[in-house]
Amino acid sequence: MTLDEAGLAARARAFLAEHDPESMTPVEFLRARFDAGMAWVHFPEGLGGLGAPRGAQAVVDRELAGTPQHDVGRLAIGLGMAAPTILAFGTGEQRERFLRPLWTGEEIWCQLFSEPGAGSDLATLATRAVRDGDEWVVDGQKVWTSSAHHARWALLVARTDPDVPKHRGLTYFVCDMRAPGVEVRPLRQITGEAEFNEVFLTGVRLPDSLRLGEAGDGWRVAQATLMNERVAISGSAGRGGGVMGAILDAWRARPELRTHDLHRRLLGLWVEAEVTRLAGARLREQLAAGAPGPEGSGMKLAFARLNQQVSGLDVEMRREEGLAYDDWTFRRSESVDFFGRDAGYRYLRAKGNSIEGGTSEILRTIIAERVLGLPAEPRADKDVPWKDLPR
């Protein structure tokens, strides 16, 4: 098999010739694409990939443009966080079971990390998992869980040993969201929608076969997920796309909205968007070379700041129209639409960017300590058993 660019392009065209998307359902087409190794070309053969360089994905994506694609707002956690974590830490059986329906969108994923008392300091989480033979019994509460209301599976971190310091007593699981004892409640957000949730876990029994990584090694697995999450949240929009796209469209189409001051500020944000885009490209190359590093925290921080500034300028530019809001009806949204709604929605939704995927304050600490090498903040709880920590 030829895995150079020309060979991959030819392979993608041959696949398309044999699988007409007009004669198949979107799911059937995506299943066939996975089976042909064109889901993630850098994944191993048999798991949606061809063992090709990660950068070759762009070749396949270009050849298959216009065919059925993912709803990224619905599948972001599965594609951006669950898949790389399962590939890195899952058993062969777990990879075989989860990756295909995850990629086709037949199974939605969510992330059971944050808790009412542990979000910014995730390692203090209190949800317990106690071993009972070949099963674990889970009790606790999670919060700010995107998409839990339609998720089939969840990434779960739970405390399995309270007698050791907080980072060492955690274990990582795949949680069956249909298991008895899992209760999902909506959290209405500033947008009026409820894409976030509270999740209550009461006596939930998970087989040990759903554990990812070794017992007690959950912090290391969770770090891999979080680093991938920050790269995924930061997005990969092209020049003038993503958050900049909507305001640029309005700027070009409506000259009556323009002022010299808005022009100056828009140019400044456009430059920042380009810096963020190019930094993201560099980070994805780093991903291709191995595990993502703490630099992803800088990308996520920059994305959140930029998104909030651009969406604010968009509202300001549209004046009274920008303050209008299309619909305050409480909804359990099926997807996250960052860019497709009106300016008011985009402005309000952007407020969550500095919380989701790690608060900006935590990310600044990671950058200071792990990227810049500055002295660490004093930590009195570093060697204290979790059960002895004040709460």
Burial 46-74 (b: 16+ CB within 10 A, else e): ebbbbebebebbebbeebbeebbebeebb
- The whole-number pLDDT of residue 303 equals 87
Residue 291 CB neighbour total at 10 angstroms: 12
* Distance between first and last Cα of the chain: 58
State how far the Cα of 91 lies from the Cα of 24, in Å rounded to an integer: 32
DSSP category for residue 165: B
Q: Tokens at residue 301, please? A: 């921080």
Cα atoms found within 13 Å of the Cα of residue 32, Cβ hemisphere only: 19
- The whole-number pLDDT of residue 54 equals 79
- The whole-number pLDDT of residue 266 equals 96
State how far the Cα of 222 lies from the Cα of 210, in Å rounded to an integer: 15
357 burial type by CB count under 10 A (0-12 exposed, 13-18 middle, 19+ buried): buried
Q: Do the bridges between strand 109-112 and strand 153-159 make them parallel or antiparallel, or are there none, so unpaired?
A: parallel
Q: Domain 109-216 belongs to what topology?
A: Butyryl-CoA Dehydrogenase, subunit A; domain 2 (2.40.110)
- The whole-number pLDDT of residue 290 equals 62
Closest CA to 191 of 14, 391, 366, 352: 352
- The whole-number pLDDT of residue 235 equals 59
- The whole-number pLDDT of residue 1 equals 46
State how far the Cα of 383 lies from the Cα of 15, in Å rounded to an integer: 56
DSSP category for residue 140: E
Whether residue 168 contacts residue 129, with contact meaning beta carbons closer than 8 Å, is answered with no
- The whole-number pLDDT of residue 99 equals 98
- The whole-number pLDDT of residue 233 equals 66
Which residues, 6 or more positions from 230, have their beta carbon under 8 angstroms from its beta carbon?
Answer: 292, 296, 297, 299, 300, 357, 358, 363
User: Bridge-partner residues for 206, per DSSP?
Assistant: 136
Chunked in runs of 10, what are the mean pLDDT values of the chain (391 residues)?
A: 77 94 95 96 93 86 91 87 94 97 96 87 93 97 93 97 94 98 95 92 98 96 84 68 86 93 95 88 71 75 91 93 84 76 90 85 88 85 86 75
DSSP 330-388: -B--SS--TTTS-HHHHHHHHGGGGTTTS-HHHHHHHIIIIIS-PPPPP-TTTTSBGGG
342 burial type by CB count under 10 A (0-12 exposed, 13-18 middle, 19+ buried): middle
DSSP 280-335: HHHHHHHHHHSS--TTHHHHHHHHHHHHHHHHHHHHHHHTHHHH--S----B--SS
DSSP category for residue 188: -
The domain 222-372 is placed in CATH, from the list 3.30.300.30, 1.20.140.10, 3.40.50.300, 3.30.710.10, at 1.20.140.10
State how far the Cα of 92 lies from the Cα of 187, in Å rounded to an integer: 36
Enzyme catalytic residues: 229
- The whole-number pLDDT of residue 336 equals 73
Whether residue 25 contacts residue 259, with contact meaning beta carbons closer than 8 Å, is answered with no
pTM: 0.88
Q: What are the residue ranges spanned by the domains of the chain?
A: 5-69, 109-216, 222-372
DSSP 13-46: HHHHHHS-GGGS-HHHHHHHHHHTT-SSTTSPBT
State how far the Cα of 39 lies from the Cα of 46, in Å rounded to an integer: 11
- The whole-number pLDDT of residue 204 equals 98
Closest CA to 247 of 337, 316, 299, 335: 316
